[in-house]
């Protein structure tokens, strides 16, 4: 029997059918029994996320890495709950009532490019050669990123308790994770809908707090015990 692990919750967290809790005191790990099959496919990632999204609306959850497995209940208690209990309780308390919302912002960069053409007219001069064009394009992209980052901070700053920049692809879009109160998610949605027309915002949520939940990493004892 192998257990597939989803996340750490409080022991009284309601669970949907198909899942069960491995409980130790006031804490629990949500698991499912998967027999002996130890292979996961991309679609299992969707199932994993669906489980966590279903759980987070009923209370705080610390998401575990997708694909984490344990041989039996006792291993789950010994490794996930007992050594970290105090830290887990703190994290669950901190994240109570909170959910993650991911926001992608795509800007109309014309304003950024115009400002750049004013401050650095050389960048607007004709250029020949593929490598030179790529090098210049990268420089421009760096400026656009900086500008987009600043604009994102202005637009998203007031919406959340905490925010983390996740990713900054070269196309100028900005990806952020916001930690927001679940009961205020509509207010956040309204603020996103009210953004100026020069920015295209898409948002996904409520998600488990992937970008905000953490436990202190324990340095394993060299001798195998603490």
Q: State the minimum distance, in angstroms, from the CB of residue 179 to other proteins.
A: 14
Task: Give the up-direction half-sphere exposure of residue 18: CA atoms within 13 A in the CB hemisphere.
Answer: 10
- Beta carbon of residue 45, minimum distance to other proteins (angstroms, whole number): 5
- Rounded distance between C-alpha atoms, residue 106 and residue 44, angstroms: 30
Query: Site for other proteins (CB under 8 A): how many residues?
Result: 81
Pairing of strands 27-33, 98-107: unpaired
CB closer to other proteins, 15 vs 69: 69
For 7, the 3-state DSSP assignment is: strand
Q: Which is nearer to other proteins, 62 or 98 (CB)?
A: 62
Minimum gap (Å) between residue 133 Cβ and other proteins: 5
Question: How many other CB atoms are found less than 10 A from the CB of residue 94?
Answer: 15
Distance separating alpha carbons of residues 12 and 159, to the nearest angstrom: 30
Tell me how many degrees the CA angle 10-205-30 measures, rounded to the nearest 5: 25
Rounded least distance, CB 109 to other proteins, Å: 6
The pair of three-digit structure tokens given for residue 1, joined into one six-digit string: 């029997």
Q: What is the closest distance, in whole angstroms, from the C-beta atom of residue 46 to other proteins in the complex?
A: 5
Report the candidate in 150, 140, 148 with the shortest Cα–Cα distance to residue 119: 140
Closest approach of other proteins to the CB of residue 63, in Å: 4
Binder to other proteins among 144, 155, 159, 179 (CB under 8 A)?
Answer: 144
Binding to other proteins, residues 152-181 (CB under 8 A): 169-173, 175
The answer to whether 203 contacts other proteins (rule: CB under 8 A) is yes
Verify binding: residue 11, other proteins, rule CB under 8 A: no
Q: Report the site for other proteins in 62-91 (rule: CB under 8 A).
A: 62-70, 75, 78-80
Per rule CB under 8 A, is residue 23 in the interface with other proteins? no
Tell me which DSSP letter residue 97 carries: T
Site string for other proteins, 35-54 (x = CB under 8 A): ---xxxxxxxxx-xxx--x-
* Cis peptide upstream of residue 200 (ω within 30 degrees of 0): no
């Amino acid at each position: 029997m192998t257990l597939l692990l989803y996340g750490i919750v409080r022991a009284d967290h309601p669970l949907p059918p198909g899942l069960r809790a491995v409980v130790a005191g006031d804490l629990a790990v949500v698991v499912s029994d998967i027999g002996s099959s130890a292979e996961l496919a991309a679609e299992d990632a969707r199932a994993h996320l669906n489980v966590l999204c279903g759980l987070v609306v009923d209370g705080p959850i610390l998401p575990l890495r997708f694909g984490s497995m344990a041989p039996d209940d006792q291993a789950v208690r010994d490794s996930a709950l007992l050594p970290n209990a105090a830290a887990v309780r703190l994290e669950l308390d901190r994240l109570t009532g909170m959910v993650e919302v991911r926001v992608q912002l795509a800007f109309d960069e014309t304003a950024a490019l115009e400002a750049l053409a004013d401050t650095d007219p050389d960048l607007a001069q004709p250029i020949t050669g593929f490598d030179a064009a790529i090098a210049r394009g990268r420089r421009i992209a760096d400026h656009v990123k900086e500008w987009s980052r600043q604009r994102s901070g202005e637009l998203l700053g007031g919406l959340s308790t905490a925010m983390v920049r996740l990713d900054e692809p070269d196309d100028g879009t900005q990806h952020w994770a916001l930690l927001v109160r679940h009961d205020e998610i509509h207010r956040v949605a309204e603020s996103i809908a009210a953004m100026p027309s020069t920015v295209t915002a898409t948002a996904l949520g409520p998600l488990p707090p992937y970008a905000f939940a953490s436990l202190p990493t324990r340095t394993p004892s060299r001798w195998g015990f603490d």
